[in-house]
Chain A
Amino acid sequence: MSESTSKTQQISLSKGLNLGLRRALEDDPKVLLMGEDIGKLGGVFRVTDGLQKDFGEARVVDTPLAESGIVGTAVGLALAGYRPVVEIQFDGFVYPAFDQIVTQVAKMRARALGKVSMPIVIRIPFGGGIGAVEHHSESPEAYFAMTAGLRVVAASNPVEAYWMIQQAIASDDPVIFFEPKRRYWDKAELDPTATPYPLYASRVVRQGTDATLVAYGPMVKTCLEAAAAAADEGRSLEVIDLRTLSPLDLEPVYASVRKTGRLITVHEASVFLGMGAEIAAKVTEKCFYSLEAPVLRVGAPHTPYPPSRVEEEFLPDLDRVLDAVDRAFAF
């Protein structure tokens, strides 16, 4: 035990991704990183810091500023046997590549009746809370989750980021990999010798008995904080980190709801047609007789992401989550 403890290190989420990418580059010569400013600069969030220096310009590629071009050429590289890992600089910049992702990446394997695969990872920093200008704080995950052929995951902390990025790269399917932008600087202890949790599985991150909170990405921390605050008030909340948005792994959610009878979904994206809507529908279908209250959804109003001076009001926070918990109990 002492040996593995000695191997642990304190890392940020950004560093976790960096170490995971480094390991993937070391393990498989077919892995390539592609994106804007990922070379010398190390990416605007420094996720690829130092990788071009160590792996060269042919494997850590500074691309032209054209998102469709980045993803479209990644398709060709994947057809040629490579495993491209694409960085989209910000959530709001993915839309020029939307056509290539939805029309080409997602469907190529089915069109070829399984004779080709698209082992492409598209990394997208997502969500708000960093005081950014317009188009830098969005949560577009549902667009991708509803597209068959794509897999969609979201990391919530540094350790998860380290493992999940490697697992996504190893996947033979295209993976949209959401990174919680405002948590890039959060720190945690990483033990690189540990056994990773499976990629496409949700996970109970706090046990509880009175109500269930389900979240992913940046909202997992918010929910954990809400659960801690609720505990002070004598309420025991279970928190589930969804981790994978496509496929969804809802068995742990069903099990939790059968225990607690109350479910609150939490994400930064719009409540309207957000991931919470699908989860609520499935839970209603599978756990109808266990529910003490309707599934409640916490998320954003159906407006464009607002100017940053009001984003604190716009984004779900501890109070908004606990308010929903109160409403679930008052039902």
Chain B
Amino acid sequence: MVTSRKGAGGKTAAKKKAGATNPDLVQLLTPEGDLVEHPEYSIDLTPEEYRGLYRDMVLVRRIDAEGTALQRQGELGLWAPLLGQEAAQVGSGRAQTAEDYAFPTYREHGVAWCRDVDPVNLLGMFRGVNNGGWDPNEKNFHLYTIVIGSQTLHATGYAMGMQRDGREGAVIAYFGDGASSQGDVNEAFVFASVNNAPVVFFCQNNQWAISEPNERQFRVPLYQRAAGFGFPGVRVDGNDVLACLAVTRAALEHARSGNGPMLVEAFTYRMGAHTTTDDPTRYRSADELEEWKAKDPIMRMRAFLEKSDNADEAFFKEVDAEADAVAADIRARCVAMTDPQPISIFDHVYAEPHPLMDEERAEYGAYWESFEGAH
């Protein structure tokens, strides 16, 4: 088991404390913002890179807040907030290279950000003007998948294709603790395993599958499940962006080097609602939320940057201002998104001509056009 070895400790970097407290959880940055050593994983970034991770998380949280606000104001039909999961998404997102390919759930706004996907692309589906809409191959970021766990099989198949073509990258498949109960996820583990496919299964265990806690999904810690499928599993502090980056980098490298799949369980917390239709106060306690707020991914990174003199007050102000600007830009472009023409529903259903599409396009088109003031 990758994580079961006890820390050798005794490393010398002055600002680092030795030994993670929990051997089953890779942590490189404590909630207080102190670096800690791990025997297996380490990270050494430039000050600019450290600041970059902080900036990513702040911007992503701001984009997410704007999504919730836009939903509350009726500009989106729904939003799935990532609040609390910024470190897991930015850490794993920044671990990817341009050649890697990500298969997201519907909550991977932070991963999308790291893959340079225009955030407005993500809003189309939630606004109801499309059901995805972006070109997955443009940024190697597949469409959001709504049915739970389906994308882990697509990711595995894509990895099998990369493997056949001898391509450079690896695939990263996102899913959640609830999805771990799905047949498709377990089938993906089997297919990836027996094909030695270059895919990293990245589970954000945010503790809640809507209202169902971990106890309703599994009896064995998720990362340990990988052993039964014949590949390594590791649990990482999902609110520690440095650990998420280090572990995902290692896992992707493991996959790229021909060693097959790996499972990463990012132990994190969904601080907000499942979606904007959800009311988490019905199923979880305020105390639990407070407990996790103390482990906030952004606060600990800020504490680290301050303690280590890697950033000054001007930097934090700059990031906050940039976040507001990004949010304003997204808002403006979101509300400017026009509704699709009804007739467009017939486009793109088939690649090749289809007589029923043509017939119904003509029929419905004529009917809709018959109304006064029709498009």
The chain A residues found within 8 Å of chain B, CB to CB, are: 58, 63-64, 66, 68-69, 71-82, 96, 99-100, 103-104, 107-117, 119, 148-149, 151, 171-173, 200, 246-249
Contact = CB atoms under 8 A, between A and B. Distances in A.
A77 B356 contact: no
A69 B191 contact: yes
A73 B157 contact: yes
Contacts of B130: 111, 113
Contacts of B133: 111-113
B22 interface: no
Interface string B143-175: 101010010111111111110110000000000
A76 B147 contact: no
Interface stretch (B1-9, B83-91, B134-142, B210-218): B134-142
B154 A79 contact: yes
Contacts of B162: 80
Contacts of A113: 130, 132-133, 347-348
B157 A72 contact: yes
B250 interface: no
27 contacts: A58-B164, A64-B191, A66-B191, A68-B153, A69-B187, A72-B150, A72-B156, A72-B157, A73-B154, A73-B156, A76-B154, A76-B155, A77-B157, A77-B160, A79-B158, A80-B157, A80-B162, A82-B161, A82-B164, A99-B147, A99-B184, A104-B154, A110-B348, A113-B348, A114-B347, A173-B351, A248-B356
Given A76-B160, A100-B153, A111-B143, 20 more contacts: A72-B153, A72-B157, A72-B187, A73-B160, A74-B157, A76-B154, A77-B158, A79-B157, A80-B161, A80-B162, A104-B147, A104-B150, A110-B347, A112-B135, A112-B143, A116-B135, A148-B349, A151-B350, A173-B350, A247-B354
Contacts of B221: none
B351 A117 contact: yes
B161 A109 contact: no
How many B residues touch the partner, as a band? 35 or more
B157 A76 contact: yes
A66 B187 contact: yes
A177 B162 CA distance: 27
Nearest to B138: A115
A64 B157 contact: no
B348 A73 contact: no
Contacts of A103: 147, 150
A75 B154 contact: yes
Contact of B136 (A74, A77, A79): A79
B114 interface: no
Contacts of B160: 73, 76-77, 80
A76 B191 CA distance: 12
B147 A73 contact: no
A107 B350 CA distance: 9
Contacts of B136: 79, 112, 115-116
Nearest to A72: B153
Contacts of B145: 104
A68 B158 contact: no
Contacts of B26: none
Nearest to B189: A69
Interface string B105-134: 000000000000000000000000011111
Closest CB pairs A-B (n = 3): A76-B157, A72-B153, A80-B161
A110 B161 contact: no
A191 B350 CA distance: 31
Contacts of A76: 103, 153-161
A179 to B, nearest CB: 22
B74 interface: no
B175 to A, nearest CB: 13
Contact of B356 (A63, A109, A171, A247): A247
A247 B350 CA distance: 11
B58 interface: no
B150 to A, nearest CB: 6
Interface in B316-359: 347-352, 354-356
A66 B156 CA distance: 14
A304 B154 CA distance: 33
Interface in B212-238: none
Contacts of B155: 76
B137, B154, B190, most chain A CB atoms within 10 A: B154
A110 B162 CA distance: 24
A247 B348 CA distance: 15
B43 interface: no
A72 B154 contact: yes
Contacts of B131: 107, 110-111
B133, B137, B160, most chain A CB atoms within 10 A: B160
Given A69-B188, A75-B157, A80-B158, A149 B350 contact: yes
Contacts of A74: 157
B47 interface: no
Contacts of B289: none
B137 A69 contact: no
Contacts of B147: 99, 103-104
